[in-house]
Amino acid sequence: MSNAAQQVEQDPEVVLLYCQHGICDEAKASAWSQDAGGVSVRAVMMPCSSKIEVPYILKILESGADAVEIVACPEKSCRLLTGSLRAEKRVAYIRDLLKKIGYCPERVGISRKLAQKPDELIEIAGKRADAVRPLGANPMKIGENK
């Protein structure tokens, strides 16, 4: 089996970047990872979704993650007022850039949620994984072990 085909068969690796208010207080953790239900999740808590800059997301994709999902607060709940709106605009911008270089924009997404339990965050990552599974592995990953 070719290296590329083997990698397509692996569970999609989704990096979840979530606002500190996106996770419930009792489960707060700055970073964690988990393989569950056909998705490999690497999660990182941010002080606010607006701290997630365009180069960060592109560098995560460049490093081989299959998708990036941002969990931002609902618009009216953002404690920095326009933080989650900024995150949403950046996601739209990145998706447009990805399209221009021939990558599927589905590799980056955003959800608006508050105080999620870890299982619920994994479910959000799972939905992103389902969106990118038909695309196969991130082309940056293919051939990296050669």
Partner 1 sequence: MIFAEWKPLDELIEKLKPYKKVLLVGCATCVAECAAGGEKEVETLAPLLRMALKKQGREIEILTATLEKQCEWEFVEALAEKVAAVEAVMSIACGIGVQALAERFDPKPVYPGVNTSALTIREEAGLWSARCAACGDCVLG
- What is the contact surface with partner 1 in residues (CB under 8 A)? 53-55, 58-59, 61-62, 97, 100-103, 139-140
Residue with smaller CB distance to partner 1, 31 or 101: 101
Cβ 85 to partner 1, closest distance in Å?
13
Cβ 87 to partner 1, closest distance in Å?
15
Dist CA 96 CA 50 (whole Å): 18
Cβ 63 to partner 1, closest distance in Å?
9
For residue 36, how many other CB atoms are within 10 A of its CB? 14
Candidates 15, 52, 61, 60; CA nearest to 34 is 15
Residue with smaller CB distance to partner 1, 30 or 145: 145
Residue with smaller CB distance to partner 1, 59 or 79: 59
Cβ(138)–Cβ(119) below 8 Å: no
Dist CA 59 CA 66 (whole Å): 12
